[in-house]
């Protein structure tokens, strides 16, 4: 199964990428133009590009069954809308969005991800991961990444927002 990851340069994204590669997925990751890939693997392809450029996003989504995006707070509603439009255009059905719960909740009006996805017919799940490396009540990075991996095939949380806790 082919999987696309947007925002694959952070600590959580790296843990997630390592886990999906371990499970045998073919992965394409969109990373900023000025970034260097942190993980090397035969089943991993990295593409340099921008969230703001729908053609960059669509290029990595083509042929993918699942798209996982991990937007930073600087990604506005417009860039997430670009992702959603590109997912439709590429024929992706399963979308998982992973956010920093604390930042997301503080800026909900700026980045209304769940509200945007509710207007689609995509199979979506929003995972609020929290700052797993800073807060005791949020699960460790490895556990959050493992939860996101399970969401690829688990339908228990379709069309839901989930906070991953210890």
What is the pTM for the complete model shown? 0.87
Domains of the chain (ranges plus CATH)? 2-163 (3.40.50.720)
Upper half-sphere CA count for residue 13 (Cβ side, 13 Å):
26
Taking only the tens place, the pLDDT of each residue in 5-64 is: 987 677 888 899 999 999 999 999 998 888 888 889 999 999 999 888 889 999 999 999
Return the pLDDT at 109.
45
User: Tokens 């798209």 label which residue?
Assistant: 67
For 5-38, letters b (16+ CB in 10 Å) and e give bbbbbeebbbbbbbbbbeeebbbbbbbeeeeebb
Taking only the tens place, the pLDDT of each residue in 115-165 is: 888 888 999 998 887 654 455 545 677 888 999 999 999 999 999 988 887
Rounded alpha-carbon distances, angstroms, from residue 24 to 16, 20, 36: 13, 6, 23
Return the pLDDT at 90.
92
Return the pLDDT at 103.
52
pLDDT of residue 111 exceeding 70, the answer is no
Q: Residue length, the chain?
A: 166
Which residues on neighbouring strands pair with residue 95, listed in sequence order? Answer: 67, 124
Sheet with 123-128: strands ordered across: 44-49, 26-32, 2-6, 66-69, 94-99, 123-128, 160-163
Cβ proximity of 163 and 147 under 8 Å = no
Taking only the tens place, the pLDDT of each residue in 53-110 is: 889 999 999 999 999 988 766 666 777 788 888 998 899 999 998 886 555 555 544 4
């Amino acid at each position: 199964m082919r999987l696309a990851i947007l925002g694959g340069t952070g600590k959580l994204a790296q843990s997630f990428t390592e886990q999906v590669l371990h499970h045998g997925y073919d992965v394409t990751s969109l990373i900023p133009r000025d970034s260097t890939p942190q993980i090397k693997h035969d089943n991993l392809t990295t593409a340099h590009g921008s969230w703001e450029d729908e053609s960059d996003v669509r290029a990595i989504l083509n042929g993918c069954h699942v798209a996982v995006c991990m937007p930073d707070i600087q990604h506005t509603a417009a860039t997430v809308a670009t992702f959603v439009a590109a997912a439709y255009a590429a024929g992706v059905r399963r979308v998982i969005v992973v956010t920093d719960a604390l930042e997301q909740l503080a800026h909900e009006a700026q980045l209304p991800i769940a509200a945007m996805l509710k207007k689609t017919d995509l199979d979506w799940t929003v995972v609020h991961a929290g700052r797993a490396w800073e807060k005791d009540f949020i699960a460790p990075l490895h556990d959050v990444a493992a939860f996101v991996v399970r969401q690829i095939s688990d339908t228990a949380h379709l069309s839901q927002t989930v906070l991953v806790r210890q």
